[in-house]
Amino acid sequence: MENTNTPIDIEISDEVADGTYSNFAIITHSNTEVIVDFVRLMPGVPKGKVKSRIILAPQHAKRLLFALGDNIAKFEHTFGEIELDENESNPTIPLNFGGQTGQA
């Protein structure tokens, strides 16, 4: 099969272009998909709210991992290293929705 490098025409609605703020993500997976829930947690409020859910095939999730790594490296090259507090680098948040759970 020939690689044609055809450009992709992508549209974005005004509502989606405005974006949604998230300060926490919960990542879960099955054998066929990876689910990323973007959550907004507010100080002093014990309950967070999922603002967006993205469901990916594992192959697309791995491509996203590589793309995020590449973009973080470029960001840090331009603006300096992103510092994480000691507690942020490995949070221990008791969240489990009945399956294997990762945190980001």
Q: With bands split at pLDDT 50, 70 and 90, how would you rate the model's confidence at 1?
A: low
The residues near 33 (Cβ < 8 Å, ≥ 6 apart) are 55, 56, 57, 58
Interval 23-57: pLDDT, tens: 999 999 999 999 999 999 988 888 999 999 999 99
The residues near 16 (Cβ < 8 Å, ≥ 6 apart) are none
Residue 91: the pLDDT is 57
DSSP assignment of 10-65, as one string? ----HHHHT----SEEEEEE-SS-EEEEEEE--TT-S--EEEEEEEE-HHHHHHHH
Handedness of CA 86, 41, 45, 50 (dihedral sign): negative
Interval 64-104: pLDDT, tens: 999 999 999 999 999 999 998 776 555 555 444 344 555 55
